[in-house]
Amino acid sequence: MKRHNNRNRQRYGLLAALALVSLLPSVTLAACPSPGQWWQEGQPLTSSALLPTAALQQVVLLGEQHDEKAHHRWQLHTLAGLYALRDDLVIGLEMLPRSAQPALDAWIAGELDDNALLEQTQWDEAWGFDSALYMPILAFARMAQIPLIALNIDPDLRQRLVNEGWEGVPADERHAIPPPQPANASYRARLTEVFNQHSMDGDPEALSRFIQAQITWDTAMAQRLAEATKGGALAVGLMGLGHVAYNEGVAYQLNALGVNDTISLLPWQMSDCSLPDPTLADAVYILADD
């Protein structure tokens, strides 16, 4: 039953992400962007211009749609570009809770094969999306000896924090994660629209729990990324685009934790001659429409 519930949670998260994509405004251009280009503030930008700027930040957020292979290829190539500029790179994974950290450490140390990694991280139960989409990134991290850090928390803890409140869960039982900064009006509006697309009853309490769960998720990941920067490392977080869009999710919570030097990057698949709203991310990378 627990595995079934986890899959339902992941399916709902994917539906929410897809709904968010459908809500994003786009800008039609006179000249179509070309695959392989970065775009920032409505203008094309080269990798040689963008990546050095990204490498100077404390945190880089790379968004994804979890089941899109092209998004993970883009993440891998961007990670390789950043690593060429920063030897002290750390990769944070939304996909796994903190309990998976020993297995990630053993993987980087070469002590586990692919199957053992997936078994010891309980990948299918914790995440549920095809591990083959992520293995090239994990293999690159091991080859280059780049630390991997688990950003997430167990669903049971997330539920406790939502239901019992932060004061009701002792700090040592919530990994010392601080209470989240309340969502701003824009983020609340977007989350409300996503909730309404998947809820039949319009229960205000259910909406409140949904929003609280989302910002709890954002804060848990922000805290781990903030911890990773304390030694001066560049922390790169891989996570769903809903946590990255408009810098209102994880970046917003990072700012509340005193981490202000962040950059949000998203892939954008062209279906017509249009780009997303320029405020969607600090830059977007144009992918071919497969």
**Quick one: pLDDT at residue 203?**
83
CATH class of 2-287: alpha beta
The answer to whether residue 22 scores a pLDDT higher than 50 is no
The mean per-residue pLDDT over the stretch 126-141 comes to 98
Q: Which of 23-32, 87-96, 163-172, 202-211 has the lowest mean pLDDT?
A: 23-32
Q: Which of 94-98, 158-162, 247-251 has the lowest mean pLDDT?
A: 158-162
The mean per-residue pLDDT over the stretch 99-110 comes to 98
The mean per-residue pLDDT over the stretch 85-101 comes to 98
Look-up: residue for tokens 């996570």? Answer: 239
Query: What band does 71 get if pLDDT is binned at 50, 70 and 90?
Result: very high
Longest dimension (CA), the chain: 56
The mean per-residue pLDDT over the stretch 31-48 comes to 91
The answer to whether residue 100 scores a pLDDT higher than 70 is yes
The mean per-residue pLDDT over the stretch 56-69 comes to 98
The answer to whether residue 123 scores a pLDDT higher than 70 is yes
Percentage above 90 pLDDT, the chain: 80
**Quick one: pLDDT at residue 190?**
94
Average pLDDT of the residues of the chain: 90
Please give the Cα distance from 246 to 127 (Å, whole number): 24
Query: What band does 288 get if pLDDT is binned at 50, 70 and 90?
Result: confident
Query: What band does 25 get if pLDDT is binned at 50, 70 and 90?
Result: low
Query: What band does 11 get if pLDDT is binned at 50, 70 and 90?
Result: very low
The answer to whether residue 23 scores a pLDDT higher than 60 is no
**Quick one: pLDDT at residue 270?**
81
The answer to whether residue 5 scores a pLDDT higher than 80 is no
Query: What band does 42 get if pLDDT is binned at 50, 70 and 90?
Result: confident
What region does 267 belong to: left with phi over 0, alpha with psi -120 to 50, or beta? Answer: beta
List CB contacts of 227: < 8 A, sequence separation 6 or more.
none
User: By C-alpha distance, which of 62, 22, 27 is closest to 241?
Assistant: 62
Convert the pLDDT of each residue in 209-259 to its tens digit.
Answer: 999 999 999 999 999 999 999 999 999 999 999 999 999 999 999 999 999
